[in-house]
Amino acid sequence: MIESYINHISYYLPEKILTNEDLATEFPEWSVEKIAKKIGINERHIAGEDETSLDMGVKAANQLFEEYGVQADSIDYLLFCTQSPDYFLPTSACIIQDKLGLRKSCGALDFNLGCSGFIYGLSLAKGLVASGIAKKVLLVCGETYSKFLNKSDKGNRTIFGDAASATLISSESIGLSAKIGQFDLGTDGSGAENLIVKAGGMRQPELLNEEIKDDYGNTSSDADLFMNGPEIFNFTSLNVPKLVENNIQKNELDMDDIQHFVFHQANAYMLNHLRKKIKVEKDRFPVRMDFCGNTVSSTIQIALRTLQDENSIKSGEKILLAGFGVGYSWGAVTIELK
pLDDT at 216 over 70: no
Of 175, 194, 220, the one marking the end of a domain is 175
Q: Based on the structure, what is the number of domains in the chain? A: 2
157 and 232: one domain? no
Q: Where are the alpha helices (DSSP H) in the chain?
A: 20-26, 32-39, 53-68, 92-100, 117-130, 154-159, 229-250, 268-278, 299-309
DSSP 159-210: HB--EEEEEEEESS--TT-EEEEEEEEEE-GGGGGGEE--TTSSSS-S--S-
Q: What is the mean predicted confidence (pLDDT) over 87-102?
A: 98
CATH number of the domain residue 231 falls in: 3.40.47.10
Q: Can you give the pLDDT at residue 220?
A: 75
28 and 137: one domain? yes
Task: Say if residues 168 and 78 touch (Cβ distance below 8 Å).
Answer: no
Q: What one-character DSSP code corresponds to residue 294?
A: B
pLDDT at 199 over 70: yes
154 and 258: one domain? no
Q: How many CB atoms lie within 10 A of CB 255?
A: 14
d(CA 222, CA 212): 9
What are 9's strand-pairing partners? 167
Which residues form the domain of 72?
5-175
- Tell me which residues are annotated as active site: 115, 264, 294
Q: Does the reported pTM lie above 0.85?
A: yes
pLDDT, tens digit, for every residue of 127-170?
999 999 999 999 999 999 999 999 999 999 999 999 999 999 99
Share of the chain above pLDDT 70, in %: 99
pLDDT, tens digit, for every residue of 229-274?
999 999 999 999 999 999 999 999 999 999 999 999 999 999 999 9
